Structures are given as C-alpha cells and as structure tokens.
Amino acid sequence: MPLFRRVPARGAAVFWRSAALAAVLGAAACGGDAASVREQTAAAAADEPREVQVVPVTTDRLVRTIDVTGTLAAEEQVTLSLKVAGRLHELHVDLGSRVQAGQVLARLVPTDFELRESQALAALHQARARLGLPLESEDDHVDIESTALVRSAAAVLEEARLNRDRIRTFVERGIAAKAQLDAAEAALQVAESRHQDALEEVRNRLAVLEQRRTELELARQAVRDSVLVSPLDGIVRERHVSVGEFLAAGSPVVTIVRMHPLRLRLSVPERDAPLVRVNQQVLVRVEGDQTRYQGRVARVSPAIDENSRTLLIEAEVPNRNGALRPGSFANATIITESSDDALLVPRSASVTFAGVDKVLLVREGRVVEQRVTVGRRADDRVEILDGVQAGDPVIVRPGNLTAGARVRVTGQAAGADLERATAR
C-alpha cells in the first residue's frame, strides 16, 4: 500500500494554505509577538485567489435602437347608435362582450315600423292602380300615350279636329254658316288643352308613383335601422342603455373597440427622428407583463412638434389573443439599424478609467488588463472594435481587481468554450 496519495489540484491548494496558516500560528505559539502574527496572516489572506466569473467574448449582430414610451390605443373605437327613435326591445351584449361584424346587438320594438311599412306599401299600390299597372309588380315603366286618360283625351281631340275640317268644307260650299266654323275651332282648342292636361296628369301620377316607391323604401329602411348591427369585430367597452328605455334618434347604445391590431403612439426625440422609417420593427413591453410584443412602425408624422421637439409616430402591434389593453402605458424599443457580426461583451465587463476603456482577462490564473476600443452599446452589451478576440475570457463585474491579482474562475455558464478560453 503506498504511503502517499495523490491529492487533486484544488485539494492541494487548500492543504498548503492550511499548512501556511498552521506555521504562522505555530510561530506565534513559540513566542512571536501578536503584530508579527497579524502581518503574516494578512499577507497569507491577500495572496489567496479571488473568485470571479468570466464570459467569453461573443460574436453576434448588434442592433441600434431608440427607447421611447407611449400609450396603446385601439385601432378603431366606435360608439354605436340607432338612426330612428323607439323603445329598446332587446339588448344582446354587455360590458366585455366579444362581437363580430354583422352581429345583432340591439333591437327596438318593431310594431310602429312595420305599420309604417304597410301604410307605404298601400299607397304604392294605389299609385300603381291609377296608372293601370299590376299591384305586385316591381316594373314602374309606363307608356304615357297608352294610358286610358291620354287615349280618351286623344280620341276627343281627333273627333274635334274631324268636326272642324268637315264644317270648314261646308262653309266653303256655302252650306254652313261661319259661326259654326268658329264653334268647331273653339271645340278643337278645348280638346287640345284637355289632351295636354291628360298628358300632364299621367306624368304627375308617374311622379307620385316614384314618391310612393321612395316612401316604401324609407319605411323598410326604418325597419332595418331599428336593429343595431356591429360594423366590426371587437369587444364592448361600455353599455349606455337598458332594455325598455325610450331612445331618441342618435342616442348612444354601446361603445366597441377593435382589439387587433392596436395602435401605439410614440414621441421620438428630435435627435433620433432622422433614423425612424416606416416598417421598422418595434418591441413593446407593458407594466406587469414580461412578454415582448413585436410590432412595426406604420405611420410617421411629417413635422416635428415645436413645443415638445419630438416626432409623433404610430406603430401597429398585433393583439390577436387580446393580452394587451387599449390605454396601457408601454415601453417601446424601435430597431433602427442592424449591423454585421460584431465582438460583444457584457456592459458590466467594460471598465472606463481616466478616459481609457479596458476589460480584464484571465491568463494562467491572474488578471490581465486589456485596453480596448468600444463601439456601439445595445441593451446590456457593448461592441468591442479592437483589443480582444472572440472567445477571450472576460471578467464580469471586475470591481476593484487590478492587473496581476490571483483569481479563480467559478461557475459553469460558459461551458467548454470558457475552459478553452481560460487555458489560452
């Protein structure tokens, strides 16, 4: 059996630190003074490696964004009312009810409207009868000359004309007196006037027929208007009336909002206004919901507001499941630009001192300061333009670490890539 057993590297380190402390304490027990013991203990503690976390420098696409706040609003909000007056007979929805386009929401008592329709229909039949048209037909075409009234007047006119011509012949032959010819001429003029009057009467009856037809359509439209139908898909935001209430024409009944998509109104600072374009992606978050909703810039104002020095834009945010509510305060991130692959480190890994940007690396268990050139910043990451390579182990939250300090890497977040990076 071997007298010595191989101790793992980490266990060996613990063993030798313990031995060093034991030696110091032994020296104190043999008569060393307390000050010497404290100095040696502090030196041993100072030489102990500090635990740090590192991440490798990664390569990814960096986007340029604008962070703004705004308010969600419904794409459409409409307060529905009835065009006719009457007593409310039915109301099929209430606050929060989902409705679809074409769905019946409310209905007035139909009795009065049905009676007016019947009255208008009877008047139409009367007008058609005066023109000799079938009552139930929809064809209102009439040949004026073929109507009974005009044909009768035309016959009288023809008879008066023939009588005048006959008497004129008699007068020319000396058989009849001139007075008979004058009477025949007058009778002909009367017949012509009556024929003209008959034509005008038929035209008047045609106009009355058209009026009755219009009155019937109005009565039928009133019947349709007594039923309230939703013009869009949405949710009832407010109910304004109750069943049995008498409503004047135009009285609001319900308010409906369209929930998909929603409209997000944002005010972009003037300095960022040139970067905003239609169809740019917008990431939206609301209070109490960690989900990121994706939308797009739909409309951009052509002018800067002179009072606030901001540019008003509107984004469309899909909301098919209704998770977002109109009126909510929202934080939005507008993605204005997407770059090619870039070297990125966490913001907490970048240190700035005396105007110099640097990161702290781990090499053979010790801290190495590396001066870098910092580029753009996005969310919690920083672009590194020069100074490091992909995979280099960068210390996260270095605190007061300095170059040359001994450190021990903890955590497994970086996996195999981290092991290869720290071994370089």
Lowest model confidence (mean pLDDT) among 315-319, 321-325, 370-374, 378-382: 378-382
Domain covering 77-105+229-257 assigned CATH 2.40.50.100 in the classification = yes
Instruction: Give the DSSP letter string of 31-98.
Output: T--HHHHHHHHHHHHHTSPEEEEEEE-EEEEEEEEEEEEEEEEES-EEEEE-SS-EEEEEE---TT-E
pLDDT value at residue 13: 44
End-to-end CA distance of the chain: 39
CATH topology of domain 51-62+341-422: 2.40.420
Residue 397 predicted with pLDDT over 80: yes
Average pLDDT over residues 317-326: 92
pLDDT value at residue 31: 46
pLDDT value at residue 419: 44
Q: What is the pTM of this model?
A: 0.61
pLDDT band at 411 (very low <50, low <70, confident <90, very high): low
Higher pLDDT, 201 or 47: 201
Tokens matching residue 222: 């009133």
pLDDT band at 36 (very low <50, low <70, confident <90, very high): low
- C-alpha 276/C-alpha 334 separation (Å) is 8
Most confident region among 87-96, 129-138, 404-413 by mean pLDDT? 87-96
Q: What is the DSSP letter of 6?
A: P
Q: What is the DSSP letter of 317?
A: E
Residue 50 predicted with pLDDT over 90: no
Average pLDDT over residues 265-288: 94
pLDDT value at residue 354: 83
CB contact set of 53 (below 8 Å; sequence gap of 6+): 395, 396, 397, 409, 410, 411, 413
- C-alpha 63/C-alpha 280 separation (Å) is 12
Average pLDDT in the chain: 86
pLDDT value at residue 30: 46
Class of domain 65-75+258-339: mainly beta
171 with 181: CB under 8 angstroms?
yes
Q: pLDDT per residue over 137-188, tens digit each?
A: 888 899 999 999 999 999 999 999 999 999 999 999 988 899 999 999 999 9
Q: pLDDT per residue over 336-369, tens digit each?
A: 876 667 888 998 888 888 889 999 998 888 899 9
